[in-house]
Structure 1
Amino acid sequence: MSDSSPGIVDLLGVLAYAELTAFLRLAEDAALFAPTLNDRAALGDVAATEYGHFRVLRDRIASLGADPEEAMAPFVEAIDAWHAQTRPKDWYEALVKAYVGVGIAGDFYREAARHADPSIIALVDEVLADGSRSEFAVERMRAALDADPRLCGRLALWARRMVGEALSQGQRLAAARPHLAALLVGEQGEDLAEVGRMFARLTEEHGRRMTELGLTPNG
C-alpha cells in the first residue's frame, strides 16, 4: 500500500491526534496528580516526547501532500471520548493509563501498519516506542505496590476497563474508516483465524504490560 493512499493518511492522522492528545493529557496529569516535583518533571518529559512524535507525524502527513488538520479531524471525537471515559482519579490511575491504556491503543495502530510499506512501518514503530513511558510507569508502580499491595485489585480493574474501551474505540474507528480497516486485514483480506491471532497478539502484549507493572497475581 503506497504512502499516499487514503489508508496510510488515515493511519498517520489517527496516530498524530493520538500523540497530540497524549501530550496534553500527560501534561495535565503531571500538574494534577504528581506527588513530587521530580515526578511532575519526569511525567512532563514523557509528555514532551509524545509531542515530538506528533510533530514527526504532522510533518510526514504534510510531505504526502495531505493537510494534517484534515487528516486528524475524523478521529477527534473517538479519541476525545476515550480520554473522557478513562480520566484518572489519582496518581496511580494516571500511571496505569500512561502505560497500559496508551500502550494497547498503540498496539492496535502497529497492527494496522503491518500491511504498509517499510518506511511507514518504521515511522509507526518510532513514534510508538514506549521506552521512557515504560521505565517511568513501571518503576513508580512497583514502588507503590510494594508500599501498599491493596492497590493491586483496584488498579487491575482500572487497566481492564481501559483496554476494553481502547479495543472498542479501535473497532469503531475501523468501522467508520474503511481505508483504515483495510490496513488491518490487508488489501486481499485475511481470514477469521488471522483476525483471531491479531487479537491474541493484542492480549499477549496487554498481559506483558500488566506483569511489568506488577498487576497480575504472579507479578
Structure 2
Amino acid sequence: MTQQDWLADPLYRDAVADLLGVLAYGELTAFVRLAGDAEMSPTQPLKASVASLAVAEFRHYEMLVSRMADMGIDPEQAMAPFIAPIDAFHERTRPSTWLEGLVKAYVGDGIATDFYREIAAYVDPSTQELVHSAMADVGQADFVVKVVREAIKDDPKVAGRLALWGRRLVGEALSQAQQVAVERDALASLLVGGVGTGRPSADLAELGRMFARLTDEHTRRMGRLGLAA
C-alpha cells in the first residue's frame, strides 16, 4: 500500500493529523521550555548548550508543520485539540530548579517520545520515517546525563530529590499520554483499528508489552542519570 492508499481512509487521515499535531505542539512546547531553561543556566557555556537544544526542537516543529501542509492538513487545526492537555501536563510538572527542568526534558519528554514512537509502528512508512526524524535525540541525552551526574558528584543529596522528581514525571507522563490517546478516537484507532483494513494493529497483549517497554526505557534513562527509578 502506498501512503495515498492509507490516507484514502478518512479515519486514518484523521489519525495521522492527530499524531503529527500532538507531536508538533509537543516540539513547540519543548522549544519554549528549553529556551526558558537556557535563561536559567548558571554559566554562559551551559546557556549556549541548552539554547542549541531549543533550536533543534524548533526545527523538528518546523519539519512536522511543513509535512502537514504538504499533506493538505491544517497544522493549527491539527495541534488545537492537544494544546489544553499538554499545557495542563506542563503546569502540573513545572520544575522548581534548573536541574529539575533538565531532568524533565530528558525523562518526561522521553516517555512521551517513546509512546509516540510505539504508535508510529502502525502508520505508513513515510509517516513513520517523519515521526522518527522528529523524535530523534538532538543531543539532550548526553548533555543532561553529564550535567546531572556532575551535580550529584558535587552534592550527593541532589540524587534523592531528582529521583523523586523522576518518579513523579513518569506517572504524569504515562497518564497524560494514555488520556490523549483514549480521548481521540482517530488516534486510538491506530493501535486497535487496523483489523480488516490491511493495516497492522495491536491486541491487548501487545498493548501490555508496549507499556512494559515504556517503563523499562524509563528505568534505563534514570539509571543513566545515576538515579533510582
> Which residues in structure 2 correspond to 1:123-134 (within 5 Å)?
123-134=130-141
TM-score (norm 2): 0.90
Q: Tell me if 1:45 matches 2:49.
A: no
Does the 8 Å contact 1:111/1:184 carry over to 2?
no
**SS state at 2:122 partner:** coil
Q: Tell me if 1:7 matches 2:19.
A: no
Taking only aligned residues, the RMSD between alpha carbons, in angstroms, comes to 1.4
> Which residues in structure 2 correspond to 1:67-216 (within 5 Å)?
67-188=74-195, 189-216=201-228
Name the aligned partner's letter for residue 171 of structure 2.
Answer: G
Structure 1: 4+ residue segments shifted above 3 A: none
TM-score (norm 1): 0.94
Alignment-derived partner of residue 198 in structure 2: none
Unaligned runs of 5+ in 2: 196-200
Structure 1 residue 42 displacement after superposition? 0.6
Report the CA distance shift for 1:71/1:214 in structure 2 as closer, same or farther (over 3 A). Answer: same
Identity across matched positions, percent:
55
Structure 1 residue corresponding to 2:25, chosen from 17, 20, 30: 17
Per-residue CA deviations over 1:33-64 (Å, capped at 9, x if unaligned) read: 21111111110000000000000000001111
Structure 1 residue 186 displacement after superposition? 4.9
Does the 8 Å contact 1:113/1:184 carry over to 2?
no
> Rg bigger for which structure?
2
Does the 8 Å contact 1:9/1:61 carry over to 2?
yes
How many correspondences in the alignment?
216
In 2: Cα distance, 1:182 partner to 1:55 partner: 26
Alignment-derived partner of residue 68 in structure 2: 61
In 2: Cα distance, 1:159 partner to 1:216 partner: 9
